[in-house]
Structure 1
Amino acid sequence: MRLVSRTAQLAFTAAAVASLLGWAAAPAAADSIRKRQWHIAALDLSKAHKLSRGDGVIVAVIDSGVDAGHPDLAGAVLPGEDLVSDGQDGRSDVDGHGTQMAGIIAAHGHGDGGGTLGVAPNAKVLPIRLSINAFGTSGEAVKAVTFAQKHGAGVINMSFGSADDAPVQAAIRAALAADIVVVASSGNRGEPGGDFPGRYPEVLTVGATDPADRIASFSITGPQVDLTAPGVDIVTTGINSSGYYQGSGTSEATAVVSGAAALVRSRFPELSAAEVVHRLTATATDAGDPGRDDSYGYGRLNIVAALTANVPAAPASAHSETTPPSTAEALPQRFPKRTSPLVITGTAAAAVLILGGLVLTLMLRRRR
């Protein structure tokens, strides 16, 4: 079954969407958007940015493409790859999710403190566009990871979900062998598609927390969770008329951690990918049950500690494994794209699509 695209949904739900996006419909004061970014203070980014801003690091965003024309991302988006439309380079986005992730990672704002600020504002984004709100194949994801590996990515952001797929895992392991930090989301409860690649032991798997440092109600927990980060009511770059978006999901938390990985890679360029992951998890603020637990993983992301702490060498772990699994030919699997729900008031917004006389209730955004 093909998922209805956001564009099609909006055509039938304009009134509902307008009311949901009303907070950003009018031009905002120069600093009002940034004031809505509660995670900036929660992560103490002002202090972190005195130590590192992500210079010299490329973060591959495997997603819906990135709107390179957004003023908060101007000059930060490299030519990438479009696995959907021939002749394109990933620097356009009709869906919005990729632009949202890119803004969380590397937005630099504009003017005098205007617009949004990313976790690693001096990093570069390598956009790689996959099929969105449709069933593509795992082959797209394999090509995307391989492209990121061949084009200098130091970090790969994977804010999507799928079924278990050996070729995708093999591509991820090859990226790790090439010294790339691979960050994936744990997934949102109640959404279709599966919990991979977040369940692969090779990736740094991220769950979401709210402004009170609690696990977000939608965030999937379990032994695969390594780290948690802000993922509720995150304001970032968008492609709507105002150019900004507020959303909740493990997608957003994953992008935060990808930005943090870029900061660490920039400050400590001698560290391997496995050592970067170890530094992020070893310096996390313990939460929940003492030690690692299935809700917070090793704890809540602490970027300043990751940039300053004296961290002992990492023990051997799944994150340093580089032996690829069997690469025998396999039939491509249906590879649905997850989307983060649009959250303006703390609850997921719903839209109603009327087609052929049937009413199909869809979540406005079903992506993590």
Structure 2
Amino acid sequence: VAGVGNLPRDQAVGYPASEAGVIAVGGVDRAGLHAAISVTGPEIDVVAPAVDIYSTSYDGKYSKGTGTSSATAIVAGAAALIRSKYPYLPAREVAHRLTATAVDKGPSGRDDEYGYGVIDLVAALTADVPPLGFESVSAPAGAGPPTTAAGQRPGDDGSGATARGLATLGVIVATGVAWAVVARRRRRSDDPPPRISR
């Protein structure tokens, strides 16, 4: 998963987003429209929010930023949640799930500003998505509706995905809190010892 780049510094989709097999991520603004900063091009697969995104910053603070890097982090998180729910799903099917469930924007179908559209995490996790190359006419009789549920653990109906996702989020938050505590203790230990007056 890689950002397509930011105007005016970047004028075309650059490496690694330009490479085959990489999900190239563009950006949308707060209204859900193409973000003016986002590079356009035929390599774009999906878009996500990229304007005024709050994130962690230096000195234990938060900052607001704009750019396709923020959109890329959102899409990478979505891919991780899909892999959490469907741990045996091949990487190209994870990418297919993101593009097949994206909310189409701009001209109908894929275009150079929005790719296949804005990611829809709920749909990516819950929709019945035919696998790549699936042909309904060649499906064996009684095969049932095509889905990528084959990517789940054997016997798993997918109901534990939310719990796994929340557990992962909990681990991330706990790690962040632990890091902040360690950083604060280090700062205190770096301070000179107090002077004792006699």
TM-score interval for Structure 1 and Structure 2 normalised by the shorter chain: 0.5 to 0.7
State the alpha-carbon separation in 2 of the partners of residues 285 and 192 from structure 1.
26
Task: Tell me whether 1:313 sits opposite 2:92 in the alignment.
Answer: no
1:29-54 residue CA offsets vs partner (Å, 9 max, x unmatched): xxxxxxxxxxxxxxxxxxxxxxxxxx
User: Structure 2 length normalisation: TM-score?
Assistant: 0.64
1:287 corresponds to: 105
**Pairing 1:271–2:109 present:** no
Identity across the alignment (%): 51
C-alpha distance in 1 between matches for 2:30 and 2:11: 28
Q: Which amino acid aligns with 2:65?
A: G
CA distance in 2, matches of 1:239, 1:230: 22
How far did 1:310 drift? 0.1
Secondary structure of 2:96's match? helix
Distance (Å, rounded) in 2 between the aligned partners of 1:193 and 1:222: 10
The structural deviation recorded for 1:198 is 1.1
Residue in 1 that maps onto 2:37: 218
The CA distance in 2 between the partners of 1:192 and 1:293, in whole Å, is 19
For residue 232 of structure 1, what is the aligned residue in structure 2?
51
1:256 corresponding residue in structure 2: 74
Residue 21 of structure 2: which of 202, 218, 227 is its match? 202
In structure 2, what is the Cα distance between the partners aligned to 1:315 and 1:288?
Answer: 26
Distance 2:82 2:64 in 1: 26
List per-residue Cα deviations over 1:75-116 (Å, max 9, x = no partner): xxxxxxxxxxxxxxxxxxxxxxxxxxxxxxxxxxxxxxxxxx
Contact 2:98 2:120 in 1 (8 A): yes
Equivalent pair of 2:10/2:39 in contact (CA under 8 Å): no
- Which residue, out of 62, 85, 94, partners 1:244? 62
| RMSD over equivalenced CA pairs, Å | 1.6
Deviations 1:174-233 (A, max 9, x none): xxxxxxxxx011111121597111111220000011110011101001100000000100
Instruction: State the distance in 2 between where 1:191 and 1:277 align.
Output: 28
Separation (CA, whole Å) in 2 of partners of 1:264 and 1:199: 23
Q: How does 1:33-52 map to 2 (within 5 A)?
A: none
Q: Cα distance, 1:315 vs. partner? A: 3.3
Task: Tell me how far apart the structure 1 counterparts of residues 11 and 109 of structure 2 sit (CA, whole Å).
Answer: 31
Q: Whole-Å Cα distance in 2 between the matches of residues 210 and 198 of structure 1?
A: 20
Distance in 2, matches of 1:219 and 1:264, equals 25
Letter in 1 for 2:62: Y
Q: What does residue range 58-77 of structure 1 map to in structure 2 within 5 Å?
A: none
Cα gap change, 1:302/1:190 in structure 2, threshold over 3 Å: closer, same or farther? same
Distance 2:120 2:95 in 1: 13
SS at match of 2:58: coil
C-alpha separation between the residues in 2 aligned to 1:230 and 1:203? 19
- Say whether the 8 Å CA contact 2:2–2:23 is kept in structure 1: yes
Q: Unpaired runs of 5+ in structure 2?
A: 135-198
- Any gaps of 5 or more consecutive residues in structure 1? 1-182, 317-368
Q: Choose between structure 1 and 2 for higher RCO, CA contacts under 8 A separated by at least 6 residues.
A: 1
Matching residue's letter, 1:237: T
The one-letter code sitting in structure 1 at the alignment partner of 2:97 is R
* SS of aligned partner of 2:55: strand
Match of 1:301 among 114, 119, 129: 119
| Equivalent-residue separation in structure 1 for 2:9 and 2:20 (angstroms) | 21
Partner of 2:9: 191
Does the Cα contact within 8 Å between 2:3 and 2:25 map onto a contact in 1?
yes
TM-score, normalised to structure 1, is 0.35
